[in-house]
Amino acid sequence: MRHSGQGTLRYIILPALCLALTWGRTYARQASDTLRVQGDTMTLKADTAAAAGDTLRAIAQLSDSLLDQARKIKIRPEVPDPKRALWLALVMPGAGQVYNRKYWKLPIIYGGFIGCTYALLWNQQMYKDYSQAYIDIMDDDPNTASYMNMLPMGYNISGREEQFKNIFKHKKDFYRKNRDLSIFAFFGVYLLSVIDAYVDAQLSTFDITPDLSLRIGPSVIEQHTVQRNGNAVGMQCSFTF
């Protein structure tokens, strides 16, 4: 009976032990495969991170190189062409100033044109009115009395016609002269805008350095006269610009 019980235990324990060993070996293999897969994944991530780091370093180096080259390059603004500025100003007043990028001069130029135009129209109208008044007061037709519109309402000039003839003639000549001056002023503004555009373009390359200084110090001055030659001590002024 003892041998029978031991045999039974052997048939039960040995299969269970084999099953446990098989399961343990399978679990160990699965765990090993999982660890290997995780290791490969981590290695791949590390390689990816390293490649990304290398790419970022390359981009940073390229950016630094471009910045260094940009610092070395001295960008100079476009220098205006005086001839082009002249022709633009001749064709269109103010276009030369726009070409020279002096936009703040445009209100001055066009303000001058507007002022001259207003003065021209005003003096022309006054000249026309006083001319007609002078013509009417000079004739003997009582129906032509437009000169009364130039006088205060109810003003009577009876007995002083000759005096007002001279006044109207003087006013007519005065406004005619101012009209002509307005025309000359208009063309003067136009001519000044053309000259300004040309000169401004010419002086765009003129070097104006901020280093302006005055130095005063002793100096030895050579003297050459009929009696003798020699040196004298004096003061010397020198400008640096």
pLDDT, tens only, 98-123: 999 999 999 999 999 999 999 999 99
Provide the residue count of the chain.
Answer: 241
**Does 225 fall in a domain?**
no
Q: Answer yes or no: are the C-beta atoms of 89 and 194 closer than 8 Å.
A: yes
Average pLDDT over residues 181-201: 94
* Same-domain check for residues 41 and 101: no
Domain check: are 54 and 115 in the same one? no
The pLDDT tens digits for 148-174 are: 777 777 677 777 777 878 888 898 999
pLDDT of residue 228: 59
**Is 67 inside any structural domain?**
yes
Q: Which H, E and C letters describe 180-203, residue by residue?
A: HHHHHHHHHHHHHHHHHHHHHHHH
Tell me: do 71 and 87 sit in the same domain: no
Amino acid at 1: M
> Which of 156, 162, 157 is closest to 138 using CA atoms?
162
Q: In whole angstroms, give the CA distance from residue 181 to residue 184.
A: 5
Residue 3, pLDDT > 90, answer no
How many Å apart are CA 112 and CA 234, to the nearest integer?
A: 54
Average pLDDT of 8-19? 58
176 burial level (CB within 10 Å; 0-12, 13-18, 19+): middle
Does residue 239 fall inside a structural domain? no
Overall pTM surpassing 0.85 (yes/no): no
Q: Which domain holds residue 96?
A: 82-205
CA–CA separation, 204 and 106 (whole Å): 18
Highest-confidence segment of 114-123, 128-137, 232-241? 114-123
Beta strands in 133-228 (DSSP E): 213-224
- For 53-68, the pLDDT digits (tens) are 677 677 767 767 766 7
Residue 224, strand partner residues: 229
Task: Kindly state whether residue 31 falls inside one of the protein's structural domains.
Answer: yes
Same domain? 98 vs 152: yes
Q: Give the model's pLDDT for residue 4.
A: 46
pLDDT for the residue 223: 61
Q: Does residue 198 surpass a pLDDT of 90? A: yes
Q: Total structural domains in the chain?
A: 2
The residue written with tokens 């002249």 in the block is 86
Sequence letter at residue 93: P
Q: Do 188 and 109 lie in a common domain?
A: yes
- Evaluate whether residue 144 is within a structural domain: yes
201 shares a domain with 88: yes
What pLDDT sits at residue 163?
Answer: 82
Say what the pLDDT of residue 2 is: 42
In this structure, the answer to whether residues 69 and 138 fall within a common structural domain is no
Q: Are residues 49 and 114 in the same domain?
A: no
pLDDT at 85: 92
Judge whether 88 lies within some domain: yes
pLDDT mean across residues, the chain:
75
Coil/strand/helix, residue 233: strand
Domain boundary among 55, 75, 95: 75
Q: Are residue 43 and residue 68 in the same domain, yes or no? A: yes
What's the pLDDT band for 127 if we cut at 50, 70, 90? very high
Reading the block at residue 205, the tokens are 């390359």
Residue 235 belongs to a domain: no
* 87 lies in the same domain as 200: yes
Considering the domain architecture, whether residues 112 and 177 belong to the same structural domain is answered as yes
| 219 part of a folded domain | no
For residues 42 and 149, membership in a common domain is answered with: no
